[in-house]
Each structure stands twice: as structure tokens, then as C-alpha cells.
Structure 1
Amino acid sequence: MPRLLALLALLCCGPLLAGERLTYPLHSSEDDPEAYVVELLRLALDKSGAGHQLVPSRLAMAQSRAQQSLEQNDNSVQLMWTMTTKEREQILLPIRIPIYKGLIGWRVALVREEDRHWLKSVRSLADLKPMRIGQRSDWPDTAILRSNGLQVVTSQSYPSLFRMLDAGRFDLFPREVVVAWDEQARANQQGLQLAVDEHVVLHYPTAFYFFTSRARADLAADIERGLERMIADGSFEQLFDSHHGATIRKAQLDKRQVIELHNPDLPELTPFAREELWYQPAAPQ
């Protein structure tokens, strides 16, 4: 009888201990450009103690489709990560810990190899206005850039943007500091002749968050608990530096011309008061 009771207890408690199978939207059917975020999320879920298991969606999913899934709580995906906007924070549930420590708003430009010094003379936003900028149609950056008077050429496909730049369909493709060189390397492996500009950095205040459905406050609390534990024990900073430290140093933000952009879609509850959550570039030398 004791053995039978023990077996029944294991059978009853097993699913609770195993946690939930969580599906996140696969960014691209090609190489995953956001391996850091997946690792951060896995560690946060481990630290939360909830025992959730993380898997990608079977097919690549556009941000707009993932957002719709979460808004409807249809269980195609249980979470996503993306740049915050006022609308997204109204219809989804944000975990307000910036995944990239705010560096998502520091953008260096991919350009064609023959144009690698084209931006050397840029000193102001006005100098950028004659140039055509590439973006995906459902990225919040598109609206931010346009609201600052810049010309934006869009595509619904992330991989096609690199080919469009190479073909001269637009002039520059601003990318997050933390991914620009990896993206350039992948593009060059595919035969595209692209370079990372060394002269200019665009900056606008924003944050990249994990989001869940508003019906899943329990899951949002699990993710937030895990992230806060990582911040407290230093593992968040350690993971961030291991993935991005060398790239940030390579970017030399303090030696670039900073072009400040206004972000009209920045939510009021962005936690700028928590200084430990944000990366602060060194002051210009």
C-alpha cells in the first residue's frame, strides 16, 4: 500500500512539476538571430522554479501574427519578445525588464560595401533625410523613423531586407548594435556585399520586453520572477556580457556621431528610474 500511494502521488504531481510547454514565435526559418534571448528566457524560466519547457513554433512567424495570437490567447504561442509600444502594452502584458538593456534603441547602419564611408559626413538628422532606410513593415521602428521625417522602404520579409539593400532598393538598414555584425557576417556568407558603417549611431529611447497574453498574468509573473532573480545574482549581466560585450566594445559608440530621434510611441511606464536595467554608453572622448 505505501508503494501504491507513492506511485499515485508521483502521477498526480508529475504534470505540476513538469510545468507548461511554452511555444515562442520563431523569428526566421534561417539562422536564429536571437539566440541570446532564447537562452535568457530559458535561464529565467529555470530560475523561476515553475518548470516550464520552451520550444519554438514549427514555422517562422511574423511579429504581427504572434501579437495577434497573444491578443486572442489562441495558444499558438504563449509569449513573444519585441519592442514595446503604447498599443502593445495596452493589448498584451509586458514584463518591463529590458532584454537588451536599452541597446535595442542604439542603431548602427548596414550599408553596401562600396558605401561604407558614405555616412562619414553626417552630422544631423537633416543629413539623413535624403537617404532611403529599409525596415520590416510590422516593426515599430518603421513608425519611429517616419515620425522623425525619414524615408522608409518596407518589406514583409526579414531576410529579403538584406537582399534589397545589396540590390540598391534602399541606402541603409539600421540594426541593433548587438546584432549588426552577426547579421553582416551571415549576409556576406550568402554572397551579399554589405558592411557595418563606422561613423554614425541612431538613438531613440525604447525597450525590448517579453510579452504574454493579458489572460496569462501567471506566466508573466513566472518570467518576471526569474529575470529578477537573474538580476539579483548577477547572471543576467554575465549572460549579457558574454553574448554582447565584445560587440559593444567593437561598436565604439563613444566615437560615433549620435543622431537623436524622438520616440512618440514610448510608454509612460518604461522603467528608466531603475538604472541597473539599462546600458549606459561611455561619454564621448
Structure 2
Amino acid sequence: MKFLQLISMFILWFLMPGNGLAANIAVYAQLSLKADPRNEYPVQLLELALKNSGALIALKASVENLHQGQAMRMIQNNNGVDVVWTMTSREREKILLPIKIPIYKGLIGWRLCIIHPQNKSLFASVKSILGLTDATFVQGHDWPDTNIFKFNQLSVTSTSNYQAMFDMVLFHRVDAFPRSVIEIWPELESHKDLQVDAHLLIRYPAAVYYFVNRKNKKLYNAILVGLNKSIVNGELDRLFNDFYLEAIKRANLTKRRVINLINPLLPENTPLDKKQLWYSSSFLDDNE
């Protein structure tokens, strides 16, 4: 922690007024509707990070709702968007600059399955990945998860239409829509004809980072300083718990069988050794 504090102090000096950063606006990619609760935590955390950095940077949402691929291309080309939060991969870290602090503490790779109520026993007897080979899953066409499922020899179809994924489950075109333990409950509130499988946790190492243009070092440094300060002073944990502690409890993880997948897209320098950045529990340790 002392090392993080020293780095943060140095970068903070650089960002102070008079040290090279003028008042500015950073446009974040709005990946869904403004009223979508999935926006709230990453936006609030980004606001907190910029506030704690001391940088004179204000946040503004993109005018249009964007797909992840669109947002990343716009950032890469300096075309009206400055920052996006999305799951990391080797390819994404080549084209954009990641702030390597997993904002969801790795829980984006802890997946429960949205299923049709008629399929509530579909995974009841599954004890290993082999038991999933007859099921068909759905994921977003530009999500790294799609390739993760394919790499693990699982059947997955993809679409760019978010609502269509729920419809595909509802109309029995696929068997399951895996969603993170921190995403799934609000989504079920607006899809009451579906339910959450009670038997499995599908898990793979994954991190959602904030990404910026590779040349935008000032915004990168501001977010990095602010997130590190938010870790040290406990504000990141408090915000995370406010949003997600109840969702984690509701997932009833200790009652689930864990199916571990390999994530071939995970960069080698992902900071998995920095335990303070990741969610952990005795349940996790027992299933390594």
C-alpha cells in the first residue's frame, strides 16, 4: 500500500493545476440506456476516482448508446469518447490503455445462468464442464465471454441485441444466458418470465477495467491515482459493497457447484497476485 501511495502522490503532483493539466471534460461511453442501473456503479466510481485525483476533469456521457466495439473504436480514433469500462483481453490491451484495477473485483467472471422456468432442472446433475456440452448458451457478439465459452468447447451463439438474449432464452432458442452475480438480479426484475438456475456457478478469471486512448496519459494517470487513493481510504470498498454485497449474498454461492473455465484471453500481466484488488472468500479458495 505504501508503494501505491508514493506513486499516487507523484502522479497527483503532476496533475495539480499548474503542472500541465487544464480543466477538461472526459466523455464516457454510455453502453446502455441512461436509466439502466448497470451504469450507476462504474459512473459513480469514475466520478470518485477523478475527485480523489485532484484533476480538473468533469465527466459527461456520450450522446448515443454504444456497443462495446463501437466505443473502443471511437476511443482508439479520438472520435468523441475518452473512456469506457469493459472486460480486458490481450487484443483490447493492444489497442487501448487499461487502468489495471478490476472495478468489479473479478466478479464479472462469476456467472449464474438465466434460464426458462421449464428448464429449472437443466443443470441439476451437472458436476463438471462435460455436463455442459449439451447446453447452448448466448452471449454478446463483441463480448470476450463468447470466445471464452467457445475455447472451453461449449456451444454459444451471439447477438449484438441485448434484449434479444433474454428473448432467445424465453422462446427456447438457447438454454441459458450466463450473467455475472452482480448483474443478474436487476436484469431479472425486468424479465420476470425467466429465472436464475439454482445449481451452478460458472467461473473464470476476468477483469473489467477503465480503458482510455493509449496517448491520453493525463486521463489515465488521473483515474489511476484516484482509484488507488480510493482503495487506500476504503471508499472503493464502501461503494462496491453498497452496490453489490446484497447481490453476492443472494447468489447463495456456498450452495452451488463450481464449474471453472479457462480464460485464454486474459493477458499474462493481469495483477492476479494483488489480492486486495479481487473479491475472495473461503468458498472461492475451496474451489480453486
TM-score (norm 1): 0.89
Kindly report the root-mean-square deviation, in angstroms, between the aligned alpha carbons of the 2 structures.
Answer: 1.8
Conservation of the 8 A alpha-carbon contact between 2:21 and 2:218: no
Deviations 1:216-267, CA, capped at 9 Å, x for gaps: 0111110000000000000000001110001101112222110010111110
Matches within 5 A, 1:113-132: 113-132=117-136
Q: Tell me what 1:111 maps to.
A: 115
In the aligned structure 2, how far is the partner of 1:117 from the partner of 1:37? 34
Deviations 1:190-216, CA, capped at 9 Å, x for gaps: xxx110111101111111100000010
Q: Tell me what 2:30 maps to.
A: 26
Structure 1 residue matching 2:190: 3-state secondary structure = helix
- 1:100 matched to 2:104: yes
In the aligned structure 1, how far is the partner of 2:267 from the partner of 2:282? 26
Conservation of the 8 A alpha-carbon contact between 1:22 and 1:52: yes
Q: Tell me what 1:227 maps to.
A: 227
Structure 2: segments with no counterpart, 5+ residues: 1-16
Structure 2 residue matching 1:161: 3-state secondary structure = helix
Deviation at 1:30, TM superposition (A): 6.6
Deviation at 1:282, TM superposition (A): 2.8
Q: Give every structure 1 segment of 4 or more consecutive aligned residues whose post-TM-superposition deviation is greater than 4 Å.
A: none
Deviation at 1:281, TM superposition (A): 3.0
In the aligned structure 2, how far is the partner of 1:55 from the partner of 1:70? 14
- 1:271 matched to 2:276: no
CA radius of gyration, larger in: 1
Which residue identity lines up with residue 74 of structure 2 in the other structure?
S
Q: Tell me what 1:91 maps to.
A: 95
Count of aligned residue pairs for this structure pair: 267
Structure 2 residue matching 1:24: 3-state secondary structure = strand
In the aligned structure 1, how far is the partner of 2:176 from the partner of 2:21? 49
Structure 1: segments with no counterpart, 5+ residues: 1-12
In the aligned structure 2, how far is the partner of 1:53 from the partner of 1:279? 29
In the aligned structure 2, how far is the partner of 1:241 from the partner of 1:18? 34
Conservation of the 8 A alpha-carbon contact between 1:73 and 1:215: no
Conservation of the 8 A alpha-carbon contact between 1:24 and 1:77: yes
In the aligned structure 2, how far is the partner of 1:264 from the partner of 1:26? 28
Which residue identity lines up with residue 180 of structure 1 in the other structure?
I
TM-score (norm 2): 0.88
Conservation of the 8 A alpha-carbon contact between 1:28 and 1:158: no
In the aligned structure 1, how far is the partner of 2:191 from the partner of 2:108? 20
Which residue identity lines up with residue 189 of structure 2 in the other structure?
A
